[in-house]
Amino acid sequence: MRGIKFFCALCCFLFAFDAARAVDITGVVSVDVTADTAAAAKSQAFNSARRDVIARELRNYANAEQLDAAIKQSSVDELIDIISSSAVSGERTSDTAYTANISFVIDGDAAKSWMEKYSVQNWLPSSSAAAVVAPENSIIAVVTLYNPISDWAALNAVARAANVDIATKNIIGSRVSFVVRDADVSKLSRALRENGWRVASTTGGIIISR
């Protein structure tokens, strides 16, 4: 009860934050497409590869069923807007075929805005999230709590059962940032997954959601 009261009280406060770097995600797809012309094959290959990368890479940060539905509903231009850059290697063309390895960089902020437009539950951080610096030999974990009190209590119960100490850094809305020692990251990630949580690694930390 004391922990719940503390959490509720903490939710009442807002902090001043610096802008943080959004998560950018890279994925690579190999394509081999045949069409009436080489240009048509290349266009089809890029559109297919773009969808595949978005679907595969964002599954680590979103509800998979809702994500797939959003991709089906989205226009080509909407999916193009999520991509910040692309690169091609091993490109081969003929009169009717296109073969290549295509890499895409997904813009984290654009992807988050797109998912929210289509009501996709996600825990992808944006550049407006808190900039939190981890202490030495530690990482920052960020969890999105859709049922704040029960989810936070459940996460703490998993951490205690795994003998992992966590220290809350800040709370913005439904998002809580906390510190985990480097030595405990794998143990906590495994325990959370075993208890139905989703855990994705990112630069300098982990992202958690149910």
What does the pLDDT look like over 182-200, one tens digit per residue?
A: 999 999 999 999 999 999 8
Q: Name residues whose C-beta falls within 8 Å of residue 197's C-beta, 6 or more positions apart in sequence.
A: 155, 158, 208, 209, 210
Neighbour order of strands in the sheet with 97-106:
25-34, 97-106, 83-93
Q: What is the pLDDT of residue 14?
A: 27
Averaged pLDDT, 82-93: 95
> Is pLDDT above 50 for 16?
no
- What percentage of the chain reaches a pLDDT higher than 70? 83
Per-residue pLDDT of 91-137, as tens digits, reads 999 999 999 999 999 998 899 899 999 999 887 766 654 455 677 88
Q: What is the pLDDT of residue 144?
A: 84
What is the overall mean pLDDT for the chain? 84
Averaged pLDDT, 163-192: 88
Distance in angstroms (rounded) separating the CA atoms of residues 44 and 33: 7
Averaged pLDDT, 30-59: 96
List C-alpha distances in Å: 40 to 36, 46, 47, 96, 122: 7, 10, 11, 8, 34
- What are 200's strand-pairing partners? 207
Closest among 173, 172, 174, 166 to 205, alpha carbons compared: 166
Domain locations in the chain?
2-18+128-209, 25-117
Per-residue confidence at 2, pLDDT binned at 50, 70, 90? very low
* DSSP assignment of 195-210: TT-EEEEETTEEEEE-
**Contact criterion met (CB below 8 Å) for 140 and 207:** no
Averaged pLDDT, 149-155: 89
Per-residue confidence at 1, pLDDT binned at 50, 70, 90? very low
> Is pLDDT above 60 for 175?
yes
Q: What is the pLDDT of residue 17?
A: 31
Averaged pLDDT, 147-161: 90
Which pTM does this prediction carry? 0.58
CATH number of the domain at 2-18+128-209, please?
3.30.70
Q: What is the pLDDT of residue 8?
A: 41
Per-residue confidence at 174, pLDDT binned at 50, 70, 90? confident
Distance in angstroms (rounded) separating the CA atoms of residues 162 and 119: 33
Q: What is the pLDDT of residue 42?
A: 96
